[in-house]
Homo-oligomer: A and B are copies of this chain.
Amino acid sequence: MNSFSEEVTLEGHIIDSWTLPRAFDTIMDMGGSFEVREMQVGRAKDEVSFARLKVQATTEKKLESILVALQSFGAVLASRDDVAYLPAPADGVLPTDFYSTTHLPTQVRLNGRWVNVKNTEMDLVIIISPAFSEAQMMPSAAVCKGELVVVGHEGIRILPPQRSREREVFSFMASNVSPEHPKRLVIEEIAKQMREIRSRGGKILIVAGPAIVHSGAGHHLAKMIREGYVQVLFGGNAIATHDVESVLYGTSLGVCLDNGRPVEGGHRNHMAAINTIRAVGSLREAVEQGVIREGIMYECIKNNVELVLAGSVRDDGPMPDVITDTAKAQVRMRSALVGVEMVLMIATMLHSIATGNMLKASVKVVAVDINPAVVTKLADRGTFQALGLVTDAELFVRELASAIAMGDKHEAQELAEVEKL
Contact = CB atoms under 8 A, between A and B. Distances in A.
Interface of A: 15-16, 18, 20-21, 24-26, 28-30, 33-36, 39, 41-45, 65-66, 68-69, 89-90, 92-94, 96, 98, 100, 123, 140-141, 165, 167, 177, 179-186, 210-211, 214-217, 255, 257-261, 264-265, 267-268, 271-272, 274-275, 278-279, 310-318, 324-330, 333, 347, 349-351, 353-354, 357, 370-373, 376, 390-396, 398-399
| Majority secondary structure of chain A interface residues (helix, strand, loop or mixed) | mixed
Q: Which 6 A/B pairs are nearest by Cβ-Cβ distance?
A: A182-B216, A395-B395, A314-B354, A100-B268, A313-B354, A310-B313
A334 to B, nearest CB: 11
Nearest to A371: B373
Nearest to A357: B314
A89 B279 CA distance: 8
B211 A180 contact: yes
A324 B141 CA distance: 12
B313 A333 contact: yes
Given A68-B265, A314-B350, A33 B18 contact: no
Tell me how many chains of this kind the complex includes.
4
Contacts of A24: 15-16
A327 B324 contact: yes
A69 to B, nearest CB: 5
A279 B93 contact: yes
A28 to B, nearest CB: 6
Contacts of A98: 271-272, 275
Given A93-B278, A181-B255, A312-B354, A21 B16 contact: yes
Contacts of A260: 177, 181-182, 185-186
Contacts of A372: 372-373, 376
Contacts of A93: 275, 278-279
Given A29-B264, A372-B372, 6 more contacts: A16-B28, A18-B18, A26-B264, A89-B279, A94-B275, A182-B216
